Amino acid sequence: MKILFCYQSIGIHSVPLPLSESLAKLGHKVINCGPGRNQDIKTSQTVDINKILQRLREIDLIFIVESSFLPSNLEKCKIPKAIYLIDSHLHFHIWHKEIAKVFDFIFLAQKKYVKKLKKIGIKNVFYLPCAYDLNTCKNLHIKRIYDFGYVGTFNPLHNPKKSIFFALLKRMFNAKIGQEVYGTKMAKIYNQSKITVNLSNATDLNLRTFESMACGSMLLTDIQDNLLGLFQDRKHLVVYKNYFEVPKLINYYLKNQTERLAIAKKGQKEVLKNHTYNHRAKEILERVEPLLREKRVIKKDVLYSLGRSYFFLYHHQTASSYLKKFILNQKGFSIKRMEAIIFFLIAKYIPPKLFRIFMIFFRITYKILD
């Protein structure tokens, strides 16, 4: 199979490259495409998909990993299209449920949104949890010098609870908090940490879950979407019910080293057995290959879906183009048409700096309504 693999290469994203490499290991021709470095085909953020395809011979599948890169004219493309949506806990009602209407196959990293997409009539929706990169996340056999570690980005303005939570924990324990840390530096922190404390943004099953366990650190985590469908509490990891439990559990497992090491080892074995990107690549192909030969129908009713998606991805010129087409094609009054008019006017006439302020307002509004 020949796969056009689309993502934005910015040097820090932990999903696309190892997934692309895993698909290639299975014997498929994978062509990486998108903005940034290390791409086979470098493009702009909203390049016309047909211009890319003109440079290539027959492509069997277009596979897009969620990022700010989204080619235009996808609705006119007859080649089967798949998308992997990871942060649905943040973007589902904002643009994920709309962009899903454009694709033939939708893979979701957060399980609870699979039913939500199916409920609105979208077909070929599959659960595909995050995983970890075998080349980066592994036991480095170095001394675990920290009581606990955490790798992730949080802003006191956006997430004051998380900031306060880790500030207090850091005063109680010998801890390593790594912000804006990726790749081998991230793996080193996990390898130096006896325990990894995980706090999800919105009960999302995040990359940290798999990456920390792969590095042999015992994971102490809040409950996440389908977490206990993949792992067992007190066998592969330890789940805390509230913030107040965390220092008690850290103290307990620091004192009970044998128990901590046993959980860490079983967790590491479990992710190696079932949760690498090699596993995810196989799962994608198992879902897609049997359906590739089905007759495709060009989706003509997705102008609003694309316009809205580009709007919330900050591509205001492309957004205004799609929204204008939708508005002109629709007659009469409807909530969707009124919404499209508002989005169009903002995208078309508001300067970029003010545009971002409007975007923040819309995101907060949709979050409240969710």
151 phi and psi, to 5 degrees? -125, 120
* Cα gap 24→366, rounded to integer Å: 39
Task: Tell me the mean pLDDT in the region 107-115.
Answer: 96
Assess whether pLDDT exceeds 90 at residue 202: no
pTM as predicted:
0.93
Least confident of 20-34, 268-282, 298-312, 333-347: 298-312
Instruction: List residues bridging with 176 in a β-sheet.
Output: 149
Query: Pairing mode, if any, of strands 105-108 and 61-65?
Result: unpaired
Report the distance separating Cα 272 and Cα 133, nearest Å.
10
For the chain, report the end-to-end CA distance as a whole number of angstroms: 39
Q: Which domains does the chain have, with CATH numbers?
A: 2-131+279-291 (3.40.50.2000), 146-274 (3.40.50.2000), 303-369 (no CATH)
Calculate mean pLDDT across residues 53-82: 93
pLDDT at 117 over 80: yes
Q: How confident is residue 232, by pLDDT bands cut at 50, 70 and 90?
A: very high
Residue 290 carries which side chain, given as an amino acid letter? P
How far is residue 9's CA from residue 69's CA, in Å, rounded to a whole number? 9
Least confident range from 129-143, 186-200, 327-341: namely 327-341
Q: Taking all residues of the chain, what is their mean pLDDT, rounded to a whole number?
A: 92
Q: Which of 124, 28, 34, 116 is nearest to 83 (CA)?
A: 124
What's the whole-number mean pLDDT along residues 202-218? 95
- The C-alpha atoms of residue 219 and residue 37 are separated, in whole angstroms, by 33
Handedness of CA 228, 232, 234, 236 (dihedral sign): negative
* Stretch among 142-151, 315-324, 338-347, 353-362 having the lowest mean pLDDT: 353-362
Q: For 139-153, 234-248, 347-361, which range has the lowest pLDDT when averaged over its residues?
A: 347-361
- The amino acid occupying position 86 is I
Q: How many CA atoms lie within 13 A of 259 on its CB side?
A: 11
What is the spatial distance between Cα 16 and Cα 222, in angstroms, rounded to a whole number? 26
